[in-house]
Amino acid sequence: MTVEATYQQMKAKLSRVVPDMELRYKAELAYEINQLKKEKNAVILGHNYMEPALFHSIPDFTGDSLELARKAATTDKDIIVFCGVRFMAETAKILNPEKTVLLPAQKAGCSLAASITAEDVRRLKARFPGVPVVSYVNTYADVKAESDLCCTSGNAKAVVESLDSETVIFLPDEYLARNVAKETGKHIIFPSATAGPDDTELDYQMIGWHGRCEVHEKFTVQDITNVRQQFPDVVILAHPECPPEVVATSDFSASTSAMIKFVQETNKPHYLLLTECAMGDNIAAANPDKEMLRLCSVRCPHMNEITLEDTLNALKLNRYVIDVPEDIRMRAAKAVERMIQIG
């Protein structure tokens, strides 16, 4: 494959979404990355939120958190370059202690992962002894290590229902927890980590935490009303990290990959995704027949840190290496592997 062939391949997909001069520049970067990837025996995993030129040029696999964790668990390459955020790269390391895992940006955090510490989980466990802990995969390794099981937006309901327990601690996303509670018919409470349960908290089946995704919490029912006024036939897809009233007002709610599949497999006049805007571009690029509306004032600054330039430097300079202390990794692996087995 030459630079020109890379450019032509990208152009075939992206000419409606990315201006040509940018495509030419990015094709050069993509070409160099793909060469280095082969030389270094690396695999590139790309989350569905990556910007279109990156998403459609360098990943060997694209997908949602669950699909990429599965790919990370089975790769035979020496290096995993994770074009996503830190907690995703950490999950890949948890599953592959002997491999080098690289995150192209030094930070690429996540407001949900930052919302809870391992100490918070230990306090909750002390307060609700014996209650299993399910942690969203959007957490750091030390929080996973304190958990019995992980889940993603793609399997949260199945994970909660797989437990042989009527009650579950579900962390840290308040809105995902509320949405799962609704789906499973469970009564949820949000206690403080330290105080004892009071009378109003005696009847509960899910115990949540007040973490929020800084992107999805911004979508409102008013956004949906406004868009439906202008496009009455629009189909609205909301990620389950959105507030419950937004999910309830939308037409479909599921993981990022399930949203992509929904658009691919249906034929509606307009679609609006209530999630990181780049995903709308990626779907539009792959499905020229679909009319994607975008609300792009709401972006994930962490996912947006991952660029083609940084990915090239990651491979050139072997950076930024993700490390997880072995005692934490071993405990976190149990929670992640249990999740992968459930599906």
For the record, the structure tokens of 156 come out as 């949260």
Residue 160 as a binder of ligand SF4 (CB under 6 A): the answer is no
Binding span for ligand SF4 by CB under 6 A among 17-25, 122-130, 189-197, 208-216 = 208-216
d(CA 32, CA 309) in angstroms, rounded, equals 10
d(CA 241, CA 52) in angstroms, rounded, equals 22
Residues lying near ligand 13P in the complex (CB under 6 A) are found at 48, 64-65, 138, 152-154, 213, 239, 241, 255-256
Using DSSP, state whether 88 is helix, strand or coil: helix
Using DSSP, state whether 39 is helix, strand or coil: helix
Binding span for ligand SF4 by CB under 6 A among 142-150, 213-221, 317-325, 326-334 = 213-221
Phi and psi based region of residue 79 (left: phi greater than 0; alpha: psi -120 to 50; beta: remaining): beta
Please count the residues of this chain forming the interface with ligand SF4, following the rule CB under 6 A.
13
Q: Is the dihedral of CA 270, 274, 275, 278 positive or negative?
A: positive
d(CA 112, CA 228) in angstroms, rounded, equals 30
CB of 6 to ligand 13P, least distance (A): 26
Determine the residue type at 200: T
| Residue of 50, 68, 89, 112 interacting with ligand SF4 (CB under 6 A) | 112
d(CA 200, CA 202) in angstroms, rounded, equals 6
For the record, the structure tokens of 170 come out as 């579900």
Query: What are the residues facing 80 on neighbouring strands?
Result: 43, 101
| Residue of 91, 96, 115, 138 interacting with ligand SF4 (CB under 6 A) | 138
d(CA 214, CA 243) in angstroms, rounded, equals 11
Among ligand 13P, ligand SF4, none, partner that 91 touches (CB below 5 to 8 angstroms by kind):
none
Among ligand SF4, ligand 13P, none, partner that 111 touches (CB below 5 to 8 angstroms by kind):
ligand SF4
CB of 88 to ligand SF4, least distance (A): 8
CB of 66 to ligand SF4, least distance (A): 13
Determine the residue type at 322: I
CB of 221 to ligand SF4, least distance (A): 19
Binding span for ligand SF4 by CB under 6 A among 90-98, 104-112, 142-150, 151-159 = 104-112
| Residue of 131, 141, 215, 322 interacting with ligand SF4 (CB under 6 A) | 215
Residue 27 as a binder of ligand SF4 (CB under 6 A): the answer is no
CB of 283 to ligand 13P, least distance (A): 14
- Residue count (the chain): 343
Burial class (CB in 10 A: 0-12, 13-18, 19+), 65: buried
CB of 86 to ligand SF4, least distance (A): 9
164 in Cβ contact with 141 (< 8 Å):
no
Of 48 and 250, which CB lies nearer to ligand 13P in the complex structure?
48
Among ligand 13P, ligand SF4, none, partner that 64 touches (CB below 5 to 8 angstroms by kind):
ligand 13P
- Residues 6 or more apart whose CB falls under 8 angstroms from that of 153 comprise 64, 65, 136, 176, 239, 240, 241, 254, 255, 256
* Residues 73-102 within binding reach of ligand SF4 (CB under 6 A): 85
- Residues 6 or more apart whose CB falls under 8 angstroms from that of 334 comprise none
For the record, the structure tokens of 113 come out as 């992962």
Of 13 and 208, which CB lies nearer to ligand SF4 in the complex structure?
208
Residue 156 as a binder of ligand SF4 (CB under 6 A): the answer is no
Of 255 and 311, which CB lies nearer to ligand 13P in the complex structure?
255
Of 32 and 64, which CB lies nearer to ligand 13P in the complex structure?
64
Which residues bind to ligand SF4, rule: CB under 6 A?
Answer: 85, 110-112, 138, 213-215, 241, 276, 300, 302-303
